[in-house]
Amino acid sequence: MDLEAKTLTLSEAKQGQKLMVVNTIGEEITMQALRFGISQGAELTIEKSIKGGPVIVVRNHLEIAIGRALAEAIEVKYL
């Protein structure tokens, strides 16, 4: 399977993976993601995914904790 073509949600990504945001589902989710500086084309690295809790990502050397519900509505692909 070609990993670079696979799309998944941010909540499904594993620690250490480098990803690019391809879509946010819904206008409210898009606005919440933008508050964190996350938009389509943003590159992220998964620092830690806490089971049932937030997903901690690194963007531009800044760690951001994203709630599980928001992470489930952000579609990403492998870089």
Task: Provide the residue type at 78 as one letter.
Answer: Y
Rounded to 5 degrees, φ, ψ at 62 are -120, 125
pLDDT for residue 77: 96
The answer to whether residues 24 and 10 touch, using CB atoms and an 8 Å cutoff, is: no
Give the whole-angstrom CA distance, residue 28 versus residue 43.
21
pLDDT for residue 15: 95
pLDDT for residue 6: 86
Block means of pLDDT (10 residues each) for the chain, 79 residues, are 75 95 95 94 96 95 95 96
pLDDT for residue 26: 93
Total domain count, the chain? 1
CATH number of the domain that 47 lies in? 2.30.30.90
pLDDT for residue 40: 95
Give the whole-angstrom CA distance, residue 47 versus residue 55.
8
pTM of the model: 0.90
Domain that holds residue 24: 3-78
pLDDT for residue 4: 55
Burial of 56 (0-12, 13-18, 19+ CB in 10 A): middle
